[in-house]
Amino acid sequence: MGYTIGDVVRIIDAVPEDVDLSSQIKAIVTDSRKVTEGDLFVAIPGEKYDGHDFTGAAYMNGAVACVVRRGSNTSVPRLEVADTVVALGMMAKHRLLNELANATRIAITGSVGKTTTKELIYSLLSVRFSGSRSPKSFNNAIGVPLTVFEAPEDIDFIVFEVGTNHAGEIAYLASRVVPDIAVITRSGYGHIGFLGSTEAIAHEKADLLRALRPGGVAVINIDSIHRDIFISSVPKGVKTVTYSMRSEDASVHARHLPDEEGKLENRLTKTRLQVDGEAYTVPLPYAIAENAVAAIAVAKLFGLSHDEIQEGFDRFEHVPMRMELTEIRGVKIVNDAYNANPDSMLALFRTFDVIQDNRKAWFVLGDMLELGEFSEELHRMVGREFAKHGFKNLLAVGKEARFIAEEAVMNGVKNVYYFTEREEVAEFLEKVLSRGDIVVLKASRAMEFEKIVEELNDALSHTLPA
């Protein structure tokens, strides 16, 4: 990173205090524990901790200076600004448009599929090009800049995940990223508690398209609700590429090729698609294979061949806790509990329509958060859909999930069990599971359903024969 303290002062309009303006900056860091000699520490206020409380620790660890809010009670060498989060974004944008100017900027948003699509695009493009992408789900006003700071200089592309939970967030992030390519996966109910309606959510997502530079490309899933909002939001001078699993009118249309083997493991982990007359095996279940179609659309923009695209799919490393399949003593466990909203719940149900004996499947569904005043209505909708798919066994966990349970019972599901605490689930399942069963887990991230997997692993290892 070729910046001095003086450079940063100019970029973020800071007031320097007790610093050497000629000092070189090795890296920009927001975690005081990760600071090493020569780093610039940016103090970020958070819900649990305030980075301003750790400026002393950052300085002791070798920080050349700290970026702090004006009026902060600290005496370390510092750059004072009105807002440290905004300053972080300003530094990121400057690096993007200067040190990383030759890298194509790809930004992805949607209510579902962002992280998987990001990882797929990265995997495909990496077959031919050098690139970088957001770590994990670094998709907010802190994560997006950190993605920029962690990117090597000599890369051909960088893939961003852009998220939101309040109006204006995507517009802000898009103004920092200035995308060359913007991808809309699918809009839905995610964060409706903050945004108020699916229309408002779609308009929020569409802000990513509005930020496209002239000559850029909008890649839009026309199977999504409110696709008209997305199409109409594309600026003049920007190319539109549509993709679909349904409509042959899309620029990139995928047709499902049935799995000849028909094994459950295959259907949970891969789908065969035909695009432009060429067949691909993509590493996703059919219900979410549209994310692979988005990746194909982007790969074609870069001129990748069929064989290169297939190689990228073959190289793909699955995202932890997203349709993560393991087996314990003959019991299959599908951990899809990285996060949840109504749209991803319904996609999950479509995925498991392939189960031949629903009596062997146990669904553990937890709270979907950030739905606000719509929470009861949407949890009940999930319960009704669960019943429509003909599933037999439901474990609902959490305060809001009781509405899933109630609605499932009212719609004819017989085996419904409700738990207020996550810790009770593994103990119950230990008593009812047998070899050949499958357990499917999904809930919002805060429910920490991965701990159920850990507890089940321990319990079943003792109760079921090897």
Provide the pLDDT for residue 260: 63
The full DSSP string for 148-193 is HHHS-SS-SEEEEE---SSTTHHHHHHHHH--SEEEE-B--STTHH
Share of the chain above pLDDT 70, in %: 98
Tell me the C-alpha distance between 284 and 262, whole Å: 15
Provide the pLDDT for residue 231: 98
CATH fourth-level superfamily of 324-463:
Mur ligase, C-terminal domain (3.90.190.20)
Distances (CA, A) of 27 to 51, 72, 100, 152: 17, 23, 15, 12
Confidence grade of residue 466 (pLDDT, cut at 50, 70, 90):
low
pLDDT, tens only, 383-432? 999 999 999 999 999 999 999 999 999 999 999 999 999 999 999 999 99
Long-range contacts of 83-86 (CB under 8 A, 24+ apart): 84/42, 84/43, 84/44, 84/45, 84/51, 85/44, 85/45, 85/141, 85/142
**Domain span(s) for CATH 3.90.190.20 in the chain:** 324-463
pLDDT, tens only, 230-245? 999 999 999 999 999 9
The arrangement of secondary structure in 3-80, i.e. its CATH architecture, is 3-Layer(aba) Sandwich (3.40)
Provide the pLDDT for residue 463: 77
Q: Could you tell me which of 156, 169, 108 has the C-alpha nearest to residue 134? A: 108
Task: Pick 318 or 297 by higher pLDDT.
Answer: 297
Q: Beta strand 24-25 with 3-4: parallel, antiparallel or unpaired? A: antiparallel
Tell me the C-alpha distance between 128 and 156, whole Å: 10
Provide the pLDDT for residue 460: 87
Confidence grade of residue 279 (pLDDT, cut at 50, 70, 90):
very high
- Encoded tokens for 291: 């994310």
Provide the pLDDT for residue 247: 94
The SS3 assignment for 399 reads: coil
With the C-alpha atoms ordered 381, 384, 390, 394, is the resulting torsion angle positive or negative? positive
The arrangement of secondary structure in 100-315, i.e. its CATH architecture, is 3-Layer(aba) Sandwich (3.40)
Task: Pick 354 or 248 by higher pLDDT.
Answer: 248
Helix axis angle for 114-125 and 306-315, nearest 10°, is 120
Q: Beta strand 438-442 with 65-69: parallel, antiparallel or unpaired? A: unpaired
Tell me the C-alpha distance between 36 and 29, whole Å: 9
Phi-psi region of 176 (alpha: psi -120 to 50; beta: other; left: phi over 0): alpha
CA angle 186, 191, 194 (to 5 degrees): 140
Q: What is the mean pLDDT of the chain?
A: 94
The SS3 assignment for 299 reads: helix
Does an H or E element contain 341, and which? none
Q: Is 70 exceeded by the pLDDT of residue 262? A: no
Q: What are phi and psi of 101, to 5 degrees?
A: -60, -25
The SS3 assignment for 369 reads: coil
Question: Rg for the chain (alpha carbons), in Å?
Answer: 24
Q: Is 80 exceeded by the pLDDT of residue 216? A: yes
The SS3 assignment for 200 reads: helix
Task: Pick 132 or 356 by higher pLDDT.
Answer: 132
Length of the chain: 466
Confidence grade of residue 461 (pLDDT, cut at 50, 70, 90):
confident
CA angle 398, 387, 371 (to 5 degrees): 40
**Domain span(s) for CATH 3.40.1390.10 in the chain:** 3-80
DSSP for residue 415: E
pTM, two decimals, is 0.93
Q: Could you tell me which of 419, 363, 369, 417 has the C-alpha nearest to residue 389? A: 363
Query: Region 116-124: what's the mean pLDDT?
Result: 97
